[in-house]
Structure 1
Amino acid sequence: MITKDEILNLENTLYGAIQNRDTEVLDNLLHTDLLFIIPSGQTITKEMDLQTYREGNLKVNEITPKVEELHIIADLAVITLQMELKGNYNNEPFEAKYKYIRFWKKFPEGIKVVGGSGMAI
């Protein structure tokens, strides 16, 4: 079973890893078979996501999350949230608000993100 507190703690760990471009922590949080739809509409894999951080293409300086819904369904958690992000992508500054859905699933090795989507709002 997964608890809401576990998911909220993992979300906070995820935000820290994104801001610090900590690919080791991201590697541990993202499932090998992750599929995520980014705001452009492209579907990316775990490796594609990690590569973005390794290459320094995405730098997020500020993340302000606001959780909307968090549902636990047995060994799966579904969270929806709004996030204000500030940073730069390919050296272009950005400041935007996004809506995300993320799916966390419990495995023997821990709880990992298996899928999600983000869109600008």
Structure 2
Amino acid sequence: MITKNEILQLEKVLYEAMKNSDIEVLDKLLHTDLLFIVPSGQTITKEIDLQTYREGNLKLHELISKTENLNIIDDMAVITLQMELKGDYDNEAFEAKYKYIRFWKKFPEGIKVVGGSGIAI
């Protein structure tokens, strides 16, 4: 079983890893078969996501999140949230608001993100 507190704590760990481009933590949190639809509409895999951080293409300076919904369904959690992001992507500054849905699933080795999607709002 998964608890809401576990997921909220993992979300915080995920945000810190994103802000710090912490590949090791991101590698642990993202499932090998992750599929995520980014705001541009492109479907990315775990490897594509990690590569973005490895190459320094995405640098987040500020990340403010507001959880809207968090549902626990057996060994899965579905969270919707709004995020304000400030940073640089390919050396271009950006500041935007996004709405995300993320799916967390419990595995023997821990709880991992298996999928999600983000859109600009």
Q: TM-score range by the shorter chain?
A: over 0.9
Deviations 1:16-69 (A, max 9, x none): 000000000000000000000000000000000000000000000100000000
Measure how far apart 1:86 and its partner are: 0.2
Separation (CA, whole Å) in 2 of partners of 1:116 and 1:91: 25
Moved over 3 A (4+): none
1:32-47 alignment runs, 5 A limit: 32-47=32-47
| 2:73 equivalent in structure 1 | 73
Match of 1:108 in 2: 108
Letter in 1 for 2:112: K
Matches within 5 A, 1:11-30: 11-30=11-30
Give SS of 2:94's match: strand
Partner AA of 1:63 in structure 2: L
Aligned residues: 121
Gaps in structure 2 of 5+ consecutive residues: none
Cα distance, 1:83 vs. partner? Answer: 0.1
Give unmatched runs, 5+ long, in structure 1.
none
Letter in 1 for 2:20: N
The alpha carbon displacement at 1:93 in A equals 0.2
Q: Supply the RMSD in Å over aligned alpha carbons.
A: 0.2
**Equivalent residue letter for 1:25:** V
Amino acid in the other structure paired with 1:118: G
